[in-house]
Each structure stands twice: as structure tokens, then as C-alpha cells.
Amino acid sequence: MTTDKKGTGLFMVWVDIPSEHEDELNRWYNEEHMAAILADVPGFLDAARYVAVSGTPKYLACYELESVQVVESPAFLRLPYEMSPWTTRMLSEELGLTLRNNAYQQIFPAQVSQAVAQSHMAPALQVGLMDIPPEIEDEFNQWYNTIFVPGFEKVPGCIRGRRYRVVDGEPKYATVYEFEHEGVPQSPEWIAASKSHPQSARIIPQMKNAAGSPGVYRKIFFPTI
């Protein structure tokens, strides 16, 4: 059995729910749903739940995948047909749950090092979802991989940055920064890094961010199985 906690895929689920049902949502996720997915679907390596410090939606469930092909596996595709009564209730329209989910293929770094593969879910994340005009897409990716992410990784409290391409859906690109604490994006060093290269001033205004993005999220739960 693999001991890896990270692979080359992510599955992220964003949720909003009316306040009167939040307690049940949290109990369902924490007591049943997240652990069940990790136990029942091979290739789901690790997971944690986060709550928004800034941005929307309010809740994020982040799952680390051995590879993005896991979401095409029979075990994953069976999930809608094997729901518990509690899951059926949580996904019913009567609770007013709004849910968005996507699978992502890692595009930077190209490989997952052993140290990264064995690392646990970070205390905080910043998740950015964006599109870019196709005429500057090649330059955008080169800039992001060689200038933007490496610059932020030098900021105290930033553990690492990883970039992804969505498998099916939009926006096309996702960037996930892992933080030691949720205050990293407000630090002077982070703000300075965002402006430290002249190419950034030209490319950033052309990025089209999804509504509520980028969002900063603080970890509130991780299963132990």
C-alpha cells in the first residue's frame, strides 16, 4: 500500500449552504463522507476540509489524487449509486446545497518529488482559478512557471505552489499555494513578490479570475483513517 499523500491530480469540491444547515453539513463531511471516499476509492491519497478566510464559496474539500485518472475509475464512478441515506439527504434539493467540483491535472512542477509526495495537507491554501487569452497562453505559462510561482515560494510561510489544468470544465487553470498560516497573502513580502517582475505587470491584468477567486482557506478538518 502506498504511503504517498500527494500525486499528480487534485479533486476539489466547493460548497455553500444556508446557515441553518451548516452544522449538519460539517457533521456529515467530518463523520462520514470524507473518510468514506478515502477508504472506498483507490488513488484518493489524502484530504482535508477548509473554510474561506477570503473569497468564495465558503467551504472547500480538497482531495489529493495519485493521478487524475482516478476520477474515471469504476470505484469513483460507482459513488453516486452507493450513497448512504445521510449522503442522499445532504445532496437533496431541500437543503439548498450548492456544489461545484472539478478534477485537475498537475502541470507544474512536472514531477512530484518524494518529499512532496509524503507531505500532509497544509494548514492553509490559496486557490486561484483563471483563464487567459489564447494569444498569450504560452507566455503566460512560461511566466507562471519560471517567475511567478518561484517568486512566491521564497516568501516566508509559503510552503509551495503547484499549477493545474482542469480536466473538464472551466476556468482552464488552477493555482494552489500551500501556506503555514492563512496570513501569508497579507504579508509585505507576498505583496512585494506579486510586483517584483516587470512581466507580471503586463500579464496579471489579462488574467480572468473566476468569481470569488483567488480564495484563501484555513484548514478545519482532516480525516484519520
Angle at 66 between CA 38 and CA 157, to 5 degrees: 90
Model pTM score: 0.96
**Separation of alpha carbons 127 and 20, rounded Å:** 27
Position 2 scores a pLDDT of 57
Alpha helices in the chain (DSSP H): 22-28, 34-40, 74-77, 85-90, 114-117, 137-143, 149-153, 188-193, 198-203
**Separation of alpha carbons 210 and 60, rounded Å:** 15
Residues 176-216: tens digit of each pLDDT: 999 999 999 999 999 999 999 999 999 999 999 999 999 99
Position 1 scores a pLDDT of 46
Query: Which CATH architecture fits 9-221?
Result: 2-Layer Sandwich (3.30)
Task: Kindly indicate the confidence band of residue 224, based on its pLDDT and cuts at 50, 70 and 90.
Answer: confident
Give the SS3 label for residue 111. coil
Residues 30-86: tens digit of each pLDDT: 999 999 999 999 999 999 999 999 999 999 999 999 999 999 999 999 999 999 999
Give the SS3 label for residue 103. strand
Residues 86-121: tens digit of each pLDDT: 999 999 999 999 999 999 999 999 999 999 999 999
Q: Which helix (H) or strand (E) covers residue 24, if one does?
A: helix 22-28
Position 3 scores a pLDDT of 85
Angle at 178 between CA 174 and CA 184, to 5 degrees: 110
Average of per-residue pLDDT across 19-25: 97
Per-chain mean pLDDT for the chain: 96
Amino acid occupying residue 16: D
**Separation of alpha carbons 47 and 179, rounded Å:** 16
